[in-house]
Amino acid sequence: MKSLICYFYLGTLLLGGFGQVFAQHQNILTATLDGQSKEIHVQQEFVYENNSDVRLNTLYFNDWAHAYASKNTGLAKRFSEEFKKSLHLAKKQERGYTSIISAVDSEYRGLHWRRTTGEDLLKIDLNSPLPPGESAKLFLTYTIKLPENKFTPYGYDKKKNSYYLKDWYLTPSYFDGAWHLYSNKNLEDLYTGVTETTVNFVYPNNLNLATNFTVLGDNTISNGQMAQLTAEQQKSCEILLSPEKRFMTHVTPQITVITDIEAFKYEDIFKGLSINRVTEFIENNLGEYPHRQLLVSQLDYEKNPLYGINQLPSFIRPYEEQFQFEMKFLKTALINILEESLFLDPRKEQWLSDAIANYLMIEFVNEYYPDQKLLGKLSKIWGIRSFNLAKMDFNEQYPFLYMLTARTNLDQPLSTSNDSLIKFNQKIANKYKAGLGLAYLASYIGKDKVDKSIKTFYKHYKLSQVKTLDFESILKRSTNADVDWFFQDFVTTDRKIDFKIKKIEKTKDSLRVTIKNKKGTNVPISMFGLKNDSVVSKYWFSGINDIKTVTIPKNDEKRLVLNYDQKIPEFNQRDNWKSLGGFFSGNKKLKFTFFRDSENPYYNQVFYVPILNFNIYDGWTPGMRLYNKTLLERPFVYDFAPSYSFREKAFVGSGRISYRKYLSKSGLYLANYSIGGSTYHFQENSRYSTITPSITFGWRPANLISNKREFLRFRYVNVLRDKAESLGDFETPPDYSILNARYTNRNPGIINYVSWFADAQHASDFTKVAFELEYRKLFESNRQFNFRFYTGKFIRNKTTDYKDPHYYSFALDRPTDYLFDYGYLGRSEDSGIYSQQIIIAEGGFKSFLPQEYRFANDYLTTINTSVNLWKWIEVYSDLGFVKNKGVSGKFVYDSGVRLNLLTDYFELYLPVYSNNGWEVSQPDYGEKIRFIVTVSPKTLIGLFTRKWF
């Protein structure tokens, strides 16, 4: 079958046919921008050419300006998945939408139309079928209300009085026997038929215009300015309007460039030289751009920036201005060139454009900046230069950032549809992996062959509808080597690449090397022979499905290393090398490094960092954290944090050893085995210690964008307590062990949040079960409703005879935390500021009710609700039923004001009315106020990373 495909494409080339070049659609627009209403009034004459071999009764048009119209569009739903609520809460005047006034055919008969998928696609029924090879003329009149640019870069900026228009008017959806109907999801992947377009654009007098189209004329008229814009074989007209004249025109030998790319402290004359260098590089390595001019804007760059430390504030920018400017310009120019001249399916086959762009970026750095370090000038600073991260070359960021998701089992195949990628993969990881893939191929079959294939592909397929199969055909004809692995394994699967040298046997004049393929991914692997860090030999091996022994000649190598140049995005490089100097010389040396660093496969890395913790019994506890977790996740992790309590004059601290195993992409995807312990003081001169082995299983859906997760955790908590004799005996047994099982189901959306768990605990003296449900709903009016239900029941309870009968009881407002799970600043306090800390668990009440209401040794049921009045000011109310053995149950309630400054992280609760009566009128009201505070850096960082992963 593969041979037939190759012969078919070869025959196509011999006949002189490249790509699908059809008659263009004709598009003439007269568009008037009203600067007061922020509306564009459009009259559009569209001639649709039926280039297919089927009769068409219906036409579809992209109306992406309407994606901002409501909270139910594809764009709004995408924002919700990314924890963005701005479009959901937007007022009507802030939104964008399209009002269709009329749609008629060439005989001025009305056409029936309706909105379909995602509300931003129009289905227009023709009055008579359109045969193959014929055309239909449509007249469309509509008004576009531009959105504010607070949701995406598009629309108008009311502060700067500027506009950014892209994908703003109606364009035909692409049809190749089937309609490709893609909603706007802020992914830069409009798929439309190629058109010959003229735009007569009228805009206010006080604005300057820049565009990717050719400007035939720009004149002042009675109601503003009018520019006539035209283009052939382009998809969409991009327009930028601003009061100041930001854009400069650079005429290079290759192309005319219009740009406003920013460069701090980099003079215009040097910008011109850099633009010449970049455009020459692009033409030499890609080919001639087929349009008259290229628009490279700062706004386009900001949509796809150079991720990494170059995004630091300008005053600590680590790179030289020339390098920074050239990389910004190169990346933005390549993206725009490929988008406007290589007409792939941008949602299904975006990986090929990404591969070409990122491969050329890698080659640009190799050619002009071979010594550039990833940290730039920071790599020379004392205290930083010793880090392995500081020694990494700039191009090593590509495998490094791809591995951020690969190591966490969140990587996705390059062939995954653009709208099914998690944000980090869509913006960074998959793009980098695609570029690495071509660099991998170039290293394997030869750089000249890959370079020639890219240029041939671009030369013959630009300005035509093209598929990745066309590139595959050209690449295969460029080499005799088998490259099926690249398309069958590297592109279309998420299989990891991981090899190791299992053993080496020496003979008189050769080496027998056994290589193991740890993941079974059938791709080639390189092996280098090193002597004093110099390469003395290099080999490629393929066809290693499991284990393979190869024989190579001796060349005075001192060690053999797989993938030494890191051209292959390999999952784990820690076992890639073997020393030829004997057993002891093969042992990795121990390396202590201050703070976390990138992974160095040639050392056993131990990281250390000073820490400082606080609770009122230990006081400030300085210590040293020792751990092996690098910037990339690894399966086996240890983390110990010994500290010293100055108040108790004793050592305290915690530690954990864990092993994480990813099982699959969906369904049961995770198993985590760990054992952890801690020892601190729970009151003056009283210490607790815990030892807890546990195992956790995780489930997730096949759609990785979904935030839904399920976990089942088993743990065996062992608690040891002691205190000074002068403080008396414990009111409960000092030492105890509890078997705990919990199933958790979470879907923490920003619009709809649902989380519930079922929990069971078994100990020698009690068995109890509990259930909790939490639900949050954010309404379109910005009103948020919070609901929490909790119920718990003792199956058996022999603890009622203890001196403290409620140590293991359900708590109404402040759990005793006998499992030592919660981050209490003062866990044993019953008065003072530390006793006012609240952790919403168990009953979740905020008021301090009388003692007989606060605990339940039989069962407890509560409901907690709140709703916001204005922004972060809410009112809350709690209802509950408390039942202790031998006494009647008690109905309890409280209510008050909640200052929800940052949900779950920083909140204040001000009680108003409860079983205690009107609390605001009672003495010492300040002691009744409760607070939530989260100081864990890991928890706070999760607020920002959740949008990406």
- pLDDT surpassing 60 at residue 892: yes
Cα end-to-end distance, the chain, whole Å: 39
What pLDDT, in 10s, does the model give residues 577-614?
888 876 555 567 888 989 888 888 888 899 999 999 88
Mean pLDDT score across all residues of the chain:
91
Strands 930-933 and 906-914: antiparallel
Least confident of 16-25, 417-426, 455-464, 621-630: 16-25
Mind listing the pLDDT tens digit for each residue in 699-711? 999 999 999 999 9
Question: Angle at which helices 350-368 and 468-477 pack, to 10 degrees?
Answer: 50
pLDDT of residue 265: 84
1-244 and 499-587: same fold? yes
Distance CA 305, CA 295 (A): 16
**Can you tell me the distance from the alpha carbon of 728 to that of 804, in angstroms, rounded to the nearest whole number?**
14
The backbone torsions φ and ψ at residue 908, rounded to the nearest 5 degrees and listed phi first, read -125, 140
Residues paired with residue 197 on neighbouring β-strands, in sequence order: 27, 231
Q: Is the pLDDT assigned to residue 946 strictly greater than 70?
A: no
Long-range pairs, 736-741, Cβ under 8 A, ≥24: 736/763, 736/764, 736/818, 737/763, 737/764, 738/762, 738/763, 738/818, 738/819, 739/714, 739/715, 739/763, 740/713, 740/714, 740/715, 740/716, 740/819, 741/712, 741/713, 741/714
Hey, what CATH class is 663-945 in? mainly beta
The three-class DSSP label of residue 706 is: coil
Residue 270: per-residue pLDDT: 93
How many C-beta neighbours within 10 Å does residue 274 have?
Answer: 23
DSSP annotation of 395 reads G
Task: Please give the pLDDT value at position 582.
Answer: 63
Check whether 695 has a pLDDT greater than 80: yes
Yes or no: say if 753 and 747 are a contact pair by the CB < 8 Å rule: yes
- Angle, in degrees to the nearest 10, between helices 321-341 and 350-368: 150
Residue 631 reports pLDDT greater than 50: yes
Q: What are the tens digits of pLDDT across the range 59-113?
A: 999 999 999 999 889 999 999 888 888 888 888 889 999 999 999 999 999 999 9
What integer pLDDT is reported at residue 832 of this predicted model? 87
Averaged over 787-793, what is the pLDDT? 97
Q: Where are the domains of the chain?
A: 1-244, 499-587, 589-634+641-655, 663-945
pLDDT of residue 904 exceeding 80, the answer is no
Contact 307, 428 (CB under 8 A): yes
How many C-beta atoms lie closer than 10 Å to residue 554's C-beta? 15
Q: What is the DSSP string of 743-758?
A: EEEEEE-SSEEEEEEE
Whether the per-residue pLDDT at 375 is higher than 60: the answer is: yes
Cα separation, 727 vs 743, in Å, equals 39
Assign domain 1-244 one CATH number from 1.10.8.60, 1.20.120.80, 1.10.630.10, 2.60.40.1730.
2.60.40.1730
Q: Is the pLDDT confidence value at 8 over 80? A: no
From the options 2.60.40.10, 1.10.540.10, 1.10.8.100, 1.10.3720.10, give the CATH code of 499-587: 2.60.40.10
Q: What is the mean pLDDT of residues 156-178?
A: 95
How many other CB atoms sit within 10 Å of the CB of residue 591?
14
Q: What is the pLDDT of residue 7?
A: 35
pLDDT greater than 60 at residue 21: no
Which whole number is the average pLDDT over 375-390? 89
Banded model confidence at residue 16, pLDDT cuts 50, 70, 90: very low
Distance from chain centroid for Cα 403 = 13
